A and B are shown apart, each in its own frame.
Chain A
Amino acid sequence: MYDLSILLLIAFAGAAITFFAGAKARWVALVTSVGTLAMSMWFLGTFLNGNPLDYRFVESYHWLTFATTNGGSLAVNYTVGIDGISLPFLFLSAILSVATVIYHWEERKDAAGFFGLVALTNAGLLGVFVSLDVLLFFVFWEIVLIPMFFLIGHWGGPRRHYASLKFFVYTHVASVVMLVSLLAVVFLGQWPSLDFVNLANNSQGVANLDAANILPATQVVLFGALFFGFGVKLPMVPFHTWLPDAHVEAPTGGSVLLAGMLLKMGGYGLIRLAFPLLPAGHVGLEPVVLVIAFASIVWGAFLSLSQRDMKRLVAYSSINHMGIVLLAIALWTQLSVTAAVLLMFAHGLVSGLLFMLSGSVHHTFGTRDIPSISGMNSRTPALTTILMIGSLASLGLPALVSFPAEFSALLATWEALGWWIILPLLALVITAAFYLWMIQRMAFGPPRGVPDTAHDLPTHELLAMVLLVSLIVLYGILPFLIVTYIPHTAIFVGCHYGGPGVCPTSP
């Protein structure tokens, strides 16, 4: 009954306690994140009982009501609930924060603050993925940005101030644009409340968000604004340059959450809000979205190839992968949206692992510069092995989690766009090329730049990585464990939304 509220309460209370827990902060953070993980696993376990189209674990409490100028009223509610789209993210967020806390177990610099911010990020993320109300969504959305700003700005690398400011300005401009256009949708669409689902009707999959009230031309403008708001987060070319800088300067845990979860907020927002709310808008802007998606895919792949810094390489490969996500979302068929969610889930695990790896490489060898490390297999076999698993997962090897996702996404692309599939496929080859080249240069060859004092992974880092690796393998071999959930969403039946290919069976 109060499940989601309890989840949020655990997360936020845990975060608050962590800040003041001093030396015990890491334990509090661990318990908190494990608590949220346990809750989300419980959700996974019980989720499938019920009508596939219903939101589950819904709670809604009235908060206040505004009178609007045209004589109507607008209710603001605390409304939370999850469906098949948000559940994987809930789980992913909890997993990644557990892994982050474990990875940073020996963090010395202002540990209480660090763990508190990590826990707060997790709490904000969970909030984003459960909230079904525009205002609540926006509040959580902003809560996520702030701890990340401090994580980068205080625990980051040498250019951390620049990077954190850049991150904040970019994402904040995007969120302001997002808020304004969301409110415009609310007012122009004459919503009775800020909830973005009509809970009374959702079993028919019908939302209350009557886009018919908004002129198609207006929808195009609003969609453009929303797309910008979420797309910067994704990130899409050409608004992507904050990402490499933020990643390079962020502490490892920050990067893990940033790549693993913050990017997913953009994709989630597109799937949950931008595309369903404004059908005429995304139809109108489809060419633009597709061009940007293809540009991100190719741009990310090529740029990764030219990077020397391992972390930058992984960051650009994220742009490439999120480009595929954007492509899949833009096609807006059941298959492609499923693929997009799956791809984001996979990318969360894999990029989290890769950022941990680059963090470990950095403090094992003192540098992340790929050409200056060679033959690290001789001193650090465990690190090398995991590096290979991570890279192979990222380039989409079967039996690892990205493969089913990429396969579905490519299949959807083929069905919708035909031979345009060549571009993502080209990117796939280049992805393989830069990862293998990186491995060849760093892991293999005669040892060079590898000090004799270099130790293999410390236990806590190893543990965090093994956690992610085991999930990558598990979901790679048994992908139905996660795919089963995704179609449990009303988004797929909203013929009402009018997107292409959304309306397969029901009238």
Chain B
Amino acid sequence: MVLGLGGRFLGKASGWIAVAAEGLALLAGVWIALTEASASTVYHDRSFVWFSLPDGTNLVMGTLVSPLGALMLIVVNVVGFLVVLYSIEYMGHEEGLPRYYAELMLFLTAMNGVVLADNYVEFILFWELVGLCSYLLIGFFWKRPSAASAAKKAFLVTRVGDVMFFVGVFIFFTAFATQTVNPAFASSVSVYPGASCPGHLTPTWACSGFVFAPPNTDSNVPFLAASALSGAANQTLMTLGGIMILGGAAGKSAQFPLHTWLPDAMEGPTTVSALIHAATMVAAGVFLLAITSMYLGFTPDAALVILGIGGFTALFAGTMGLVANDIKRVIAYSTMSQLGYMTMAVGAASFLVVGPGAGMYHLFTHAFFKALLFLSAGSVIHALNTQDLFEMGGLLKAMPVTGYTMLIGALALSGVPPFSGFFSKDALLSLTWTAAQKDPVALPFFLMAATGVFLTALYTFRLWFLTFSGSKGRSEAAHHAHEPSWIMRAPLVTLAALSVVAGFFPLIGGFNHWLPGLSYGIFGFTQTSKGWVFAAADLELAIASLALAFAGIAVAFALWGNGRVFHLADDSVWKAPQKVLVRKYYFDEAYDGLAHGVILGAARVFDWVDRYVIDGTIHGFEQVFSMASLRARRAQTGLVSSYAMWIVFGLVLLLIFVLYGIPYLGTLWGG
């Protein structure tokens, strides 16, 4: 429907062509999203049969503009447009620009495809293309071995997740294929008036994941009749299905334990990092969980696992962010941590059987301030040509626009009102708190997430103070820093503005159904069918998280503010934990060991077996035969008389056999 925009253009013009194309895509995306918001029906087109299999399965390529999709459409295209615009200057002096823009456009196209896909197979198709593009873009500086290696790592790690995702989809096939005629499901499909999900076309799984709790009701009862899927065996299978989907999402969204590719992915250009972290690649994972959340509502165990993984990652990534010295890597860990929050929120929502709005809300706000952080970091890198935080400092004077916009981003990330991150983080924390009250298993993960709030503020402001505060820079380059041109500043300012206002977005009437289930806590107010109601418990939570955020900022200021540089003393007891953090908990070593030691080792052993045992056996046969034939050859003396002798000998034997042997055998066999 939209966007066949990837293409190879020539020369520098390619950048502007890409900007124009993405601008058009932005307009189209916004238009589609607004249409969705005002329309009474869901646009759903399933006219194109991709291929049909002889068992009656039709794989359809369709377009579904769901509320969540409309939200994502705006995120992807706004961020995409700004990033492409920013690239014009940022990437201006690099080689291979047409390739860059072509890959970037394909990336955005694929992401739009993910957002508009109407079934899981189509989703996988675009999802893999997203993975491919991130592979290509991370490896954009292909001459650097580290970039090539990071690209490979990103692809492989997400591939492991994808494989799990495949299994999840297959489970959906088996779980839902038998339910095409389930009346409960059929009636649920029509809850959206006009949402065409014809049961006769495909197994209903194709629609199941994409239809959400209807807007403006607080029944929040998912559509699938729980009874249809009850039964112990089914329950186990469905839980596994949920966990497999989580595997796919964890690969893409860099959740523990498939998180290792994300920090390395910083080898790509900063613009690509911004895109990957804000709008495209990693968002796809959370989006997947969100569209599957209705299914996950039936699998509380899987939902709890998702909640747990998310909460753990939120804390886990935050600790690593504390010690990173590369400006981009700090932001990368913050992404990982924030994605943990989103995952946790989707898990909690599924557990509570409400819409995944809170997580998507955070995805929405996060997209803007994270893109902002990356682009301003890019602006710093552009000016200084270094990514080491300890070579920066005191840049606020030289680069005020970058500095203040980044401050807005940092405040939003830390969750300080009135910036957007506060609202969304508060929403998802109160959701998780509700979940934790319902099942205490979730409580430790809620506490991890809460600790994560403190850490987020701490490392974010460590980053900001080290970069901008103080009176002078810590390196020669930092003294000559300057602001970039308006092409780079404009996206920064736009994103900063969006980071401020995005938090108020759900308050706008007509759009709140884009965030289904977002009914908990906007600063103590709760949305119900009767409007916004004040709830004191949520206010306490909000104040607590605010206090944590401010504590983080205060500690950061004490340690690194005003140009201070805090290093651990060599004999500090914290040295050992710091080392563990710097080495990223040794996950890279462990996975490398697994890949090189175990798998490659096994491959070598297999190769040896193949060459020497299997082929050796064959050669053994060959040797036996050639030895035997050498021996046999000696019998050929060439002497006619000896041949004749053998002939006579043979004849005599034959005669004896005929005369005595055959009658004897005859008596033996009873003939």
Which chain A residues border B124 with CB–CB below 8 Å?
398, 407
Known: A305-B599, A445-B143. A436 touches B156 (CB 8 A): yes
Residue B198 lies at the interface, judged by CB distance under 8 Å to chain A: no
Binds A, one of B75-83, B188-196, B487-495, B603-611: B603-611
1/0 contact string of B43-55 vs chain A (CB within 8 Å): 0000001111111
B163 near A480 with CB under 8 A, answer: no
Q: Which one of A377, A397, A426 has the highest number of Cβ atoms from chain B below 10 Å of its Cβ?
A: A397
- Give CA–CA (A446, B600) in the complex, Å: 24
Of B145-153, B401-409, B431-439, B470-478, the segment with at least 4 beta carbons within 8 Å of chain A is B145-153
Contact: A444 with B603, CB < 8 Å? no
- Check: A177 CB closer than 8 A to any chain B CB: no
> A335 to chain B: which residues have CB within 8 Å?
53-55, 57
B125 within 8 A of A: yes
Contact B51 A480 (CB under 8 A): yes
Are A398 and B125 in contact, CB atoms less than 8 angstroms apart? yes
Across the interface, name the chain B residue whose C-beta is closest to A301.
Answer: B603
Interchain CB contact (< 8 A) of B606 among A306, A398, A399, A486 = A306
Residues of B within 8 A of A437 (CB): 152
Which stretch (A1-9, A21-29, A246-254, A409-417) binds chain B?
Answer: A409-417
* A97 beta carbon closer than 8 Å to chain B: no
Decide: A480 and B132 in contact? CB cutoff 8 A: no
For the complex formed, measure the closest distance between the CB of A292 and the CB atoms of chain B, giving whole angstroms: 13
- Inter-chain contacts of B614 with A (CB < 8 A): 237-238, 240-241
Contact between B618 and A241 (Cβ–Cβ < 8 Å)? yes
Please report the C-alpha to C-alpha distance between residue A45 and residue B344 in the assembled complex, in whole angstroms. Answer: 53
Task: Decide if B646 is an interface residue (CB 8 Å cutoff).
Answer: no
Q: CB distance B53 to A303 under 8 Å?
A: no
Among A306, A408, A410, A492, the residue within 8 A (CB) of B607 is A306
Interface size on A, residues (CB 8 A): 57
Cα A122 to Cα B52 in complex, Å, equals 31
Closest beta carbon of chain B to A430's beta carbon, Å: 7
| 0/1 interface trace, chain B 581-596, chain A, CB 8 Å (1 if under) | 0000000000000010
Q: Contact at A377–B595, with CB atoms within 8 Å?
A: no
Q: Is the CB of B163 within 8 A of A429?
A: yes
B284 within 8 A of A: no
- Whether B163 and A425, one on each chain, are in contact in the complex, defined by CB atoms closer than 8 angstroms, is yes
Judge whether A364 is part of the interface by a CB distance below 8 angstroms: no
Q: Is A414 a contact partner of B170 (Cβ separation < 8 A)?
A: yes
Contact A303 B152 (CB under 8 A): no
CB within 8 Å for A398 and B128 given contacts A414-B167, A480-B50: yes
B600 touches A483 (CB 8 A): no
B525 interface residue (CB < 8 Å to A): no
CB distance from B409 to the nearest CB of A (A): 33
> In the bound complex, do residue B156 and residue A433 qualify as a contact, i.e. CB atoms below 8 Å apart?
yes
* Bound CA–CA A430/B159 (angstroms): 10
Q: Are A410 and B166 in contact (CB under 8 A)?
A: yes
Q: Which residues of A contact B147 (CB under 8 A)?
A: 444
Task: List residues of B (606-625) whose CB comes within 8 Å of A's CBs.
Answer: 606-607, 610, 614-615, 618
Smallest beta-carbon distance B149→chain A, Å: 6
Q: Are B607 and A303 in contact (CB under 8 A)?
A: yes
Flag if A398 contacts B54 (CB, 8 Å).
no
CA distance A485 to B213 in the complex (A): 41
Within 8 A of A (CB), among B113-136: 121, 124-126, 128-129, 132, 135
Q: Which of A375, A399, A426, A478 has the most CB of B within 10 A?
A: A399
Q: Is A392 an interface residue (CB 8 A)?
A: yes
Task: Name A392-442 residues within 8 Å CB distance of B.
Answer: 392, 397-399, 403-404, 407-408, 410-411, 414-415, 421, 425-426, 428-430, 432-433, 436-437, 439-440
**A303 close to B52 (CB less than 8 A):** no
B9 within 8 A of A: no
Check A241 against B53 for contact (C-beta < 8 Å): no
Contacts of B173 in A (CB 8 A): 411, 414-415
Instruction: Determine if A302 and B128 form an interchain contact, defined as CB atoms under 8 angstroms apart.
Output: no
CB 8 Å contact bits of B377-401 with A (1 = contact, 0 = none):
0000000000000000000000000
User: Bound state CA distance, A421 and B170, in angstroms?
Assistant: 10
* Contact of A407 with B121 at beta-carbon distance under 8 Å, contacts A305-B603, A480-B50 already known: yes
A429 touches B155 (CB 8 A): no
Whether B600 contacts A398 by the Cβ 8 Å rule is no
- Selected from B50, B54, B149, B603, the residue in CB contact (under 8 A) with A487 is B54
Q: Which of A398, A437, A443, A480 counts the most chain B CB atoms within 10 A? A: A398
Hey, what's the 0/1 contact readout for A34-63 against B, CB within 8 Å counting as 1?
A: 000000000000000000000000000000
Shortest beta-carbon distance, A396 to chain B, in Å?
9
Which residues of chain A (262-315) have a CB below 8 Å from chain B? 299, 302-307
Knowing A306-B603, A444-B143 are in contact, say whether A415-B156 is a contact too (CB < 8 A).
no
Task: Please list 16 pairs of residues, one from A and one from B, whose beta carbons are closer than 8 Å in the complex, sorted by A's number.
Answer: A299-B610, A302-B602, A306-B604, A338-B53, A399-B125, A403-B128, A407-B166, A411-B53, A411-B173, A415-B173, A425-B166, A432-B156, A432-B159, A436-B152, A444-B139, A479-B50
- Give me the 5 closest cross-chain CB pairs, A-B, nearest first: A444-B148, A306-B603, A305-B603, A398-B125, A334-B54
Residues of A whose CB lies within 8 Å of any CB of B are: 237-238, 240-241, 299, 302-307, 333-335, 338-339, 375, 377-378, 392, 397-399, 403-404, 407-408, 410-411, 414-415, 421, 425-426, 428-430, 432-433, 436-437, 439-440, 443-447, 478-480, 483-484, 486-487, 492, 504
Given A238-B614, A302-B607, A306-B603, 7 extra CB contacts under 8 A: A303-B603, A306-B606, A397-B128, A399-B129, A445-B145, A486-B54, A504-B55
